[in-house]
Chain A
Amino acid sequence: MKPGTKLKSSVCDTEVMVIRGSGVVVECGGTPMADERPAERGTLNPGFAQGTLIGKRYVDAAGTVELLCVKPGKGSLSLGGVALQIKDAKPLPASD
């Protein structure tokens, strides 16, 4: 894995663009992601089945990786078995 490339889930429709991180293995749905999806899909680990959201960026606490979801799917992303978190914009709270 290296920045600027795409990774695909082996168990669902999820595709991500690698924004940060190289030489590590990220998982989707509990199974390592790869450049190409295998001919036969693996099974989704229910512990990593919260789904991915289109256009969202996912990061780990240490800032090792950042993945941009370009195609959503049923699996959720993790690094070394630890779930990645959404990196959301942090606007000031507003109300009318």
Chain B
Amino acid sequence: MTQVMKGVRVLEVAQFTFVPAAGAILADWGADVIKVEHPVRGDAQRGFINIGGMKLDPRRNTLMEHPNRGKRSVGIDISTPGGIELLYEIAKTADVFLTNSLPAQRQKLKYDIEHIRAANPNIVYARGSAYGDKGPEREVGGFDGTAFWSRSGVGYSMTPEELSGPLTQGIAAFGDSIGGMNIAGGIAAALFHRARTGEALELDVSLLSTAWWAAGTAVDQFIESGKVVRNRMPTSGGNPGNPFSGNFRTSDGGTINLCILAPGPYIRDTFAHLGIPEAADDPRFVDAPTLMRNWKEASELMTAAFAKQPFAYWRRHLKTLKGQWAPIQSLLDLAGDEQALANDMIFEVEAGDGGKPLKLVRGPVQFNHEPVETTRAPQASEHTESFLMEIGLEWERIEKLKAAGAIA
């Protein structure tokens, strides 16, 4: 893929998925991303034993790969005098500083904006937080499970009120990965602004703002109406007001989603595909207004039609449907989906255990139709010496920093 960020250096002091994922996107785009990790502990992300209900293999650690592919890891203890001076030296060579450290930590260890800007006045300073860098809770940390899913109202609206409690996020780092992309977009815009005007900006993305943006049409509507709508319980049938929109159960328990939001032009084609062509001539369903008014009756006919054939039949048969539809499939099903593969949605990196390559999901943006070419995530502190020599440190100084516990 065209290396749109080639020549841009990103200095990352960040952990877990949300903010590192921004670095990963920029690395996919060709940036030189230097990930600073604690020399002994490493990124806290490395400590995950289980995630999403599954045990992680530390030698084939997909949870590290997703938000860290393509980076170099440099082990610096920035709480030491030698370590923080080294961070400033690296900042002098960087275009972007990327962090999710809490404000108190940034102040205490002196890598807040004023400290980094003292080293490099032209650096873009990007912060990821739980709740934003202003207001009474700017010092409060969080994960996507708290800020993105729970506090935002997303979890509440995803859950039908008939259930005894709110659904959990269900997919590990779901809000984090969306948020990371948001940060990467913000950084790209800030770099564009700097190139045009010479002005370096600071920018913020929170997990809370990420959730509200993703839920934006609902949030705006709820504010306007003063009412909140929640998810419906699963059914087989059309949605109230539009029978051509809804989930329909097949004879073997699979589900087909129809999403024909403007049904008018699709009435005859849809009924024909469902094996009930005569319904198109039924006066109750002849045009969009009558179909929408008589949604219940249409939905009953359609539900019965879908229940006559298995999932595989509908997948094949609906390929010629003019309206919008999709099979309900799993995230793993997508890994073998012809369309996903045709769009290079998966790429491979070398695995840490030397075994078969790891398959990773690419970021959502593709340039010039070209697949991502990148490298695996680094081991903790893998590039300390090689990177420091690259920016001009003599081996003697590296040894001194090491003796002082500033690097590893």
List residues of chain A with CB under 8 Å of any chain B CB.
Answer: 3-4, 17, 19, 51, 53-57, 68, 72, 88-96
B321 within 8 A of A: no
Task: Name 8 A/B residue pairs within 8 A (Cβ), A-sorted.
Answer: A3-B395, A4-B395, A57-B381, A89-B40, A89-B46, A89-B380, A91-B41, A96-B145
CB neighbours (8 Å) of B399 from chain A are 3
A91 near B46: Cβ-Cβ < 8 Å: yes
B379 within 8 A of A: yes
Nearest-neighbor residue (CB-CB) of A55 within chain B = B379
Contact A92:B352 (CB < 8 A) given known A17-B386, A55-B382: no
Compute how far the CA of A91 lies from the CA of B145 in the bound complex, rounded to whole angstroms: 21
Name the contact of B352 in the complex, choosing from A55, A89, A94, A95 (C-beta under 8 A). A55
Name the contact of B354 in the complex, choosing from A51, A88, A92, A93 (C-beta under 8 A). A51
A54 near B386: Cβ-Cβ < 8 Å: no
Nearest-neighbor residue (CB-CB) of A92 within chain B = B47
CB neighbours (8 Å) of B353 from chain A are 53
CB neighbours (8 Å) of A88 from chain B are 380
CB neighbours (8 Å) of A90 from chain B are 40-42
B354 near A53: Cβ-Cβ < 8 Å: yes
Compute how far the CA of A92 lies from the CA of B16 in the bound complex, rounded to whole angstroms: 12
CB neighbours (8 Å) of B46 from chain A are 89, 91
Inter-chain CB contacts under 8 Å: number: 66
Tell me the minimal C-beta distance from A41 to chain B in angstroms: 18
Tell me the minimal C-beta distance from B101 to chain A in angstroms: 16
List residues of chain B with CB under 8 Å of any chain A CB.
Answer: 37-38, 40-52, 59, 145, 172, 350, 352-354, 378-382, 385-386, 389, 395, 399
CB neighbours (8 Å) of B385 from chain A are 4, 17, 19, 68
CB neighbours (8 Å) of A57 from chain B are 379, 381
Compute how far the CA of A3 lies from the CA of B354 in the bound complex, rounded to whole angstroms: 26
B42 near A93: Cβ-Cβ < 8 Å: no
Name the contact of A72 in the complex, choosing from B42, B43, B48, B354 (C-beta under 8 A). B354
CB neighbours (8 Å) of B51 from chain A are 95-96
A53 near B350: Cβ-Cβ < 8 Å: no
Tell me the minimal C-beta distance from B107 to chain A in angstroms: 23
B44 near A94: Cβ-Cβ < 8 Å: yes
CB neighbours (8 Å) of A95 from chain B are 48-51
Compute how far the CA of A8 lies from the CA of B160 in the bound complex, rounded to whole angstroms: 62
B59 near A53: Cβ-Cβ < 8 Å: yes
Nearest-neighbor residue (CB-CB) of B379 within chain A = A55
CB neighbours (8 Å) of B42 from chain A are 89-91
Nearest-neighbor residue (CB-CB) of A73 within chain B = B354
A93 near B47: Cβ-Cβ < 8 Å: yes
Interface contacts beyond A55-B378, A89-B41: sample of 18 additional A-B pairs, CB < 8 Å, sorted by A = A3-B395, A3-B399, A4-B389, A17-B385, A54-B352, A54-B354, A68-B382, A89-B37, A89-B38, A89-B381, A91-B41, A91-B44, A92-B47, A94-B44, A94-B49, A95-B50, A95-B51, A96-B52
Compute how far the CA of A91 lies from the CA of B75 in the bound complex, rounded to whole angstroms: 13
Tell me the minimal C-beta distance from B366 to chain A in angstroms: 28
Tell me the minimal C-beta distance from B16 to chain A in angstroms: 9
CB neighbours (8 Å) of B172 from chain A are 96
Compute how far the CA of A53 lies from the CA of B40 in the bound complex, rounded to whole angstroms: 19
Tell me the minimal C-beta distance from B165 to chain A in angstroms: 18
Tell me the minimal C-beta distance from A1 to chain B in angstroms: 14
Tell me the minimal C-beta distance from B387 to chain A in angstroms: 12
